Amino acid sequence: MKKVKEIGRFAVDSGRCYIGDPYYLTDPTHIVETDDNIKGWGVLAENFGGDGGYSVYGEYDGKQLVRVIIDFSNSDNYPTSKIISKRKIKK
């Protein structure tokens, strides 16, 4: 049985959201921005409501994460400086 739970929140201050491997953010030469995405390295989401705080949900099949859902429909204008990730990205 699959289970969905909130796994965190993130802040948007540029009106855009990048979804991809953070490795590619360490070297700007890896990122090629186009109108719809960052070619080959990730996805750039825009036009979803702008700045604010957004909830992220994980869908699990047992202990395995099988889907990530970002709820862009409900920005609560939470002060983005107060959103803290539950997990830190390892370098």
Encoding tokens for residue 12?
A: 């948007």
In this structure, what is the dihedral angle of CA atoms 36, 42, 46, 49, given to the nearest 10 degrees? 160
pLDDT by residue (tens digit) across 39-86?
Answer: 567 777 888 877 888 899 999 999 999 999 999 887 765 554 444 444
Give pLDDT, residue 65: 94
Any domain includes 74: yes
CB 65, CB 58: distance < 8 Å: yes
Domain range for 60 is 2-82
Distance between CA atoms of 90 and 4, rounded to whole angstroms?
25
- The domain tally of the chain equals 1
Q: Model-level pTM greater than 0.75?
A: no
Is residue 15 scored above 80 in pLDDT? yes
Any domain includes 71: yes
Any domain includes 11: yes
User: Which residue's entry shows tokens 């204008």?
Assistant: 77
In this structure, what is the dihedral angle of CA atoms 90, 33, 54, 13, given to the nearest 10 degrees? 90
